[in-house]
């Protein structure tokens, strides 16, 4: 496991590099202007996630703690860096959607091709599903990075829970990577909370989405935890992004266009502060999702029923929230 000194170093480096990335963004004109996808009202530098990425790579590669398993160095971190570079280029000069998607899928195929697979996980159907899941995770993380603290806050929760899951499965290397990721997200947050001084940008959100997807797939295929438990870790983000996508499709809208129709964005448009939205989402994580995960781990035979119940509960909460603020009523 990572000791406290290494975690503290990761947090400090992330904080330092994020500040430097903010200065670079200001000098280079990498500024997000309020528009269709974002819920902010002021022009703000983007690309601060580069600091998080750099801090994680340094602390994960340096011999400062537990030895990481081979897949971390040969598959997970290379994919993480590749998606960060893709996001970095996109932050500087927007790439074509097709180019972004092709690169994302190729990286996901590389990940899944190198996963340890046996039994049900050795089937071609699982490989296809795993590639689609990883690609969706990359994009949904990017979609959900539209409110201050949202992406990094979810990163702290998800990787902290994954660290616990890996540690109890006697996988200290993967647990160490998860804790370092959580520490780096913590280091990024001071720059992004409240009146954000810098946004994560695609360089951070694409890379972080891939990393969490890779950790989930490595954990499931390696037997560290079950598939339903893994899915519950990202339940809040999966619910908001997937249900929003389905709603846009059923309305005949161009789902791939930029928008501000996620529940968290609608709440901000109704007058909620970014901090209030973040607190509500993290409260759901801690009060609802985490107990469900713990129960699913303690009772493996009940993991799927718990996961389905959680999905239904989150979908119902999403539906009632939209109905309460008049979105669904306006659609009829």
213-241 burial, b at 16+ Cβ within 10 Å, e below that, comes to bbbbbbbbbbebbbbbbbbbbbbbbbbbb
31, β-bridge pairs: 45
Query: Do the beta carbons of residue 184 and residue 55 sit within 8 Å?
Result: yes
Alpha helices, DSSP H only, in 75-149? 77-92, 97-113, 124-144
Q: What is the pLDDT of residues 51-80, one digit of tens each?
A: 999 999 999 998 665 678 899 999 999 999
CA distance 275 to 279: 6
The beta-carbon contacts of 117-120 under 8 Å, at least 24 apart in sequence, are 117/221
pLDDT at 93: 92
User: What's the whole-number mean pLDDT along residues 87-110?
Assistant: 96
pLDDT at 326: 83
pTM for the predicted model, two decimal places = 0.95
pLDDT at 260: 83
Q: What is the pLDDT of residues 228-266, one digit of tens each?
A: 999 999 999 999 999 999 999 998 887 667 778 899 999
Is the predicted pLDDT of residue 126 greater than 80, yes or no? yes
Find the radius of gyration of the CA atoms of the chain: 19
Count of residues in the chain: 332
Question: In 42-196, at which residue ranges do the beta strands (DSSP E only) sit?
Answer: 44-45
The one-character DSSP state at 286 is I
CA distance 208 to 231: 16
φ, ψ at 150 (rounded to 5°): -65, -55
Q: Which domain holds residue 120?
A: 4-331
Q: How far apart are the first and last CA of the chain?
A: 54
The one-character DSSP state at 301 is G
pLDDT at 254: 76
φ, ψ at 32 (rounded to 5°): -85, 120
pLDDT at 64: 62
Q: What is the pLDDT of residues 188-226, one digit of tens each?
A: 999 999 889 999 999 999 999 999 999 999 999 999 999
3-state secondary structure of 115: coil
**Which candidate, 244, 27, 242, 51, places its Cα nearest to that of 133?**
242
**Which candidate, 162, 149, 160, 157, places its Cα nearest to that of 188?**
149
- In order, the DSSP letters of 219-273 are HHHTTSS-HHHHHHHTHHHHHHHHHHHHHHHHTT--TTS----SHHHHHHHTT--
Q: What is the pLDDT of residues 170-195, one digit of tens each?
A: 999 999 999 999 999 999 999 999 88
Q: pLDDT grade, residue 1 (50/70/90)? A: low
- What total of structural domains would you count in the chain? 1
pLDDT at 42: 83
User: What's the whole-number mean pLDDT along residues 106-129?
Assistant: 90
Q: What is the pLDDT of residues 287-331, one digit of tens each?
A: 999 999 999 999 999 999 999 999 999 999 999 999 998 877 544
pLDDT at 65: 57
pLDDT at 332: 43
Query: Do the beta carbons of residue 115 and residue 121 sit within 8 Å?
Result: yes
User: What's the whole-number mean pLDDT along residues 115-129?
Assistant: 86
pLDDT at 122: 84
């Amino acid at each position: 496991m990572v000791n406290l000194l290494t975690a503290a170093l990761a947090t400090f480096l992330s904080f330092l590099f994020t500040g430097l990335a903010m200065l670079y963004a200001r000098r280079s004109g990498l500024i997000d202007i309020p528009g269709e996808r974002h819920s902010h009202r002021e022009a703000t530098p983007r690309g601060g996630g580069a600091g998080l990425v750099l801090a994680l790579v340094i602390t994960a590669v340096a011999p400062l703690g537990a030895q990481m398993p081979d897949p971390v160095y040969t598959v997970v971190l290379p994919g993480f860096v590749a998606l960060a570079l893709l996001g970095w280029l996109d932050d500087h000069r927007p790439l074509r959607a097709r180019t972004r998607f092709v690169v994302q899928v190729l990286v996901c195929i590389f990940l899944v091709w190198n996963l340890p697979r046996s039994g049900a996980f050795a089937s071609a159907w699982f490989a296809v599903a795993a590639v689609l899941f990883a690609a969706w995770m990359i994009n949904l993380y990017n979609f959900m990075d539209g409110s201050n603290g949202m992406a990094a806050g979810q990163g702290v929760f998800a990787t902290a829970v994954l660290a616990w899951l890996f540690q109890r499965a006697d996988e200290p290397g993967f647990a160490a990577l998860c804790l370092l990721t959580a520490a780096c997200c913590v280091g990024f947050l001071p720059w992004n909370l409240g009146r954000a001084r810098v946004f994560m940008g695609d360089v951070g959100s694409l890379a972080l989405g891939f990393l969490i997807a890779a950790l989930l797939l490595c954990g499931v295929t390696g037997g560290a935890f079950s598939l339903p438990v893994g899915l519950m870790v990202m339940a809040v983000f999966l619910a908001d992004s997937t249900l929003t996508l389905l709603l846009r499709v059923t309305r005949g809208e161009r789902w791939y266009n930029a928008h501000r129709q996620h529940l968290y964005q609608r709440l901000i448009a109704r007058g909620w502060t970014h901090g209030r939205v973040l607190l509500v989402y993290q409260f759901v994580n801690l009060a609802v999702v985490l107990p469900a995960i713990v129960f699913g781990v303690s009772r493996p035979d009940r993991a799927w029923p718990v996961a389905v119940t959680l999905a239904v509960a989150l979908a119902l909460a999403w539906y009632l929230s939209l109905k309460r603020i008049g979105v669904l009523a306006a659609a009829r």
